[in-house]
Amino acid sequence: MKTIYLDNNATTAIASEVREAMMPYLGELYGNPSSMHTFGGQVAHAVAEAREQIAALLGAQPEEIIFTSCGSESDNTAIWSALQTQPEKRHIVTTALEHPAVLNVAQFWERQGYRVTRIGVDDKGRLDQDAYANSLTEDTAIVSVMFANNETGNVHPIGKMAEMAKEKGIVFHTDAVQAVGKVDIDLSKISVDMLSLSGHKLHAPKGIGVLYVRKGVRFRAFMRGGHQERGRRAGTENVPYIVGLGVAAKLAAEGFAAERSQVGALRDRLQKGLLDAIPDCRVNGDIENRLPNTANISFKNVEGEAILLMLDQLGICASSGSACTSGSLEPSHVLRAMGVPFNYAHGSIRFSLSRYNTEEEIDFVVSHMPDVIKTLRNLSPFKG
């Protein structure tokens, strides 16, 4: 049975070009890039090239790129640094929609006595800009707002929000893990101070990430030890994965326009097909400002986990907008913040596509989903 993978916001396949570029650094080119000898120097050159490729994708300078292990480390580091360099400030601004890599960090600092403001959203998941403007104070150490939401695909007005923070001298961080490679990001044109990304969301391996730190922004290292990354992140560089991420960034930059149009067309084909074929379903999010690869669709009076189990039997991989913990179902914090009705929220499925999906795969999903939903609705205890 063929696997149809529509869960790319969870992770992506490693591009063949990325895998090929990594192989020499898993074999004969095993030197330490910090070594003084030529054998290590050629490895250091590869790391420098990858740094340049990632900077080019982001509209940044190579020296503003810090390699980390993942997006979560980058998020933690950004918030830690802002708080440590401004001990007199005790306020954090974030949103109700963030990934746990930011939400749980904010909760941790809240337990340490910091005040945290979480900006709410409307029923389409759009951030309350008036509430945001009113939240910024002289005591605010950092704003952390995701560039694009991992569940709905909503793209937030990061440029505008960063500029508002800059006007008040507040550090602005964005978790751009879902956005990099999917939307145009030019850090030379927006006032973002720090940005997080993760390699496995753009066809590089798991276990490599980046924290962008704008030149001139005060920074305190989260991981201490050696002199790597200009003293900003200790630990011997993960060279094969860094090289892979550099190639993935290069591929993303070269194929940006084509991928947006092609993947966007497939997403729209899937969404229209499902909405036309299945009654009582709805799209969650702002359809005018979404990632081109993401559709979050709720099916009334069905449990998302049951949908996923039946899709899995068909070889279809997607993810649910609700989480099952300790035997009790609870809709995702994103859908709750948006006020999605209970009998829709539990039946929320996120389809997230990539350049490796095809029209034939999309048509297969559209042809089988109506029977899946009909079967489950006949069994469902939910009514009305």
Q: What is the DSSP string of 62-108?
A: GGGEEEES-HHHHHHHHHHHHHHH-TT--EEEEETT--HHHHHHHHH
**CATH architecture assignment, domain 16-254:** 3-Layer(aba) Sandwich (3.40)
Q: Does the predicted TM-score (pTM) go above 0.85?
A: yes
* Helix-then-strand count for the chain, H and E: 12, 15
Q: Is 24 exposed, middle or buried (0-12, 13-18, 19+ CB in 10 A)?
A: middle
Numbered ranges of CATH 3.90.1150.10 in the chain? 256-379
Query: Tens digit of pLDDT per residue, the chain (384 long)?
Result: 899 999 999 999 999 999 999 999 999 999 999 888 988 889 999 999 999 999 999 999 999 999 999 999 999 999 999 999 999 999 999 999 999 999 999 999 999 999 999 999 999 999 999 999 999 999 999 999 999 999 999 999 999 999 999 999 999 999 999 999 999 999 999 999 999 999 999 999 999 999 999 999 999 999 898 888 888 999 999 999 999 999 999 999 999 888 889 999 999 999 999 999 999 999 999 999 999 999 999 999 999 999 999 999 999 999 985 443 334 457 789 999 999 999 999 999 999 999 999 999 999 999 999 999 999 999 877 655
Tell me which of 3.40.720.10, 3.30.1330.10, 3.90.1150.10, 3.40.640.10 is the CATH number of domain 256-379.
3.90.1150.10
Q: What is the CA radius of gyration of the chain?
A: 22
Please tell me the predicted confidence (pLDDT) of residue 337: 94
Please tell me the predicted confidence (pLDDT) of residue 259: 83
3-state SS, 317-376, equals ECEECEEEECCEEEECHHHHHHCCCHHHHCCEEEEECCCCCCHHHHHHHHHHHHHHHHHH
- Active-site residue flag, 317: no
What is the sign, positive or negative, of the torsion defined by CA atoms of 128, 133, 139, 141? positive
Numbered ranges of CATH 3.40.640.10 in the chain? 16-254
